[in-house]
């Protein structure tokens, strides 16, 4: 049974502050992305996205959710990793939805950045087995996506493979069930999105649909909901 995850009961004013901070950073991110500076000559892109302001409310909501879900876990040391991932999600969703590409200039530097934050979270928790599990999940999920890319490169780009390692690292640090939920959630979101776009005739059967946003949304859903066995 899918149920809402257990929060950390942070005071509402703390969640509100996180929301305000997320809104400010989201607005700055939207402004920075709105000029299309991430585009390269090989991108098959049309006009720039006209709705530049959406990262502000979305990141505000995501940071409030991170505060509710992660809160003071590991003596507050875990929250920066998840706040960073939420910001990365907003930026990558914007870019991948626009040009169907997850830029190395953003994804690759995120590896050492997120790893450093996960190490700090592990130090705050004092249980280093979580770090080794996270690293194993990074390698394992990367390998799975790499094989899927080899089997069907037209369906799964190599940018998605590189993104999978970040998701494996973050969700693997929490636990294997969250990782499985995040991966399955990504495929579910991707499937629903594809059906909706086909039904609305926004794409055709041979069109390429960006999968990165679905992967990221699935990972975030794994923070909000969890699976419980029912006897």
pLDDT of residue 201: 60
Residues in the chain: 231
| Structure confidence by residue, pLDDT tens digits, 45-72 | 777 777 789 999 999 999 999 999 999 9
Contact 213, 192 (CB under 8 A): no
| Structure confidence by residue, pLDDT tens digits, 153-165 | 888 999 999 999 9
* pTM for the structure as a whole: 0.93
Using 50, 70 and 90 to split pLDDT, how confident is the model at 229? Answer: low
* Domain residue extents for the chain: 75-227
Q: Copy the structure tokens of residue 185.
A: 């959630």
State the DSSP code for 176: H
Beta strands in the chain (DSSP E): 2-4, 225-227
């Amino acid at each position: 049974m899918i149920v809402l995850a257990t929060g950390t009961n942070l005071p509402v004013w703390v969640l509100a502050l996180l929301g305000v901070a997320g809104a400010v950073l989201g607005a700055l991110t939207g402004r920075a992305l709105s000029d299309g500076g991430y585009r390269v000559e090989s991108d098959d892109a049309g006009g720039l996205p006209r709705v530049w302001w959406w990262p502000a409310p979305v990141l505000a909501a995501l940071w409030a959710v991170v505060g509710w879900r992660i809160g003071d876990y590991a003596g507050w040391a875990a929250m920066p990793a998840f706040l960073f991932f939420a910001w990365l999600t907003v930026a990558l969703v914007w870019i991948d939805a626009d040009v169907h590409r997850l830029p190395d200039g953003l994804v690759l530097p995120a590896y050492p950045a997120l790893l450093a934050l996960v190490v700090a979270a592990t130090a705050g928790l004092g249980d280093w087995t979580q770090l080794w599990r996270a690293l194993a999940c990074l390698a394992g999920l990367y390998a799975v996506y790499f094989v899927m890319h080899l089997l069907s490169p037209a369906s799964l780009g190599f940018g998605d493979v590189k993104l999978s390692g970040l998701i494996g690292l973050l969700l693997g640090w929490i636990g294997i069930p969250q990782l499985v939920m995040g991966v399955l959630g990504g495929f579910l979101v991707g499937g629903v999105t594809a059906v909706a776009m086909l039904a609305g005739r926004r794409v055709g059967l041979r069109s390429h649909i960006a999968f990165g946003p679905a992967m990221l949304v699935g990972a975030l859903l794994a923070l909000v909901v969890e699976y419980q066995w029912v006897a």
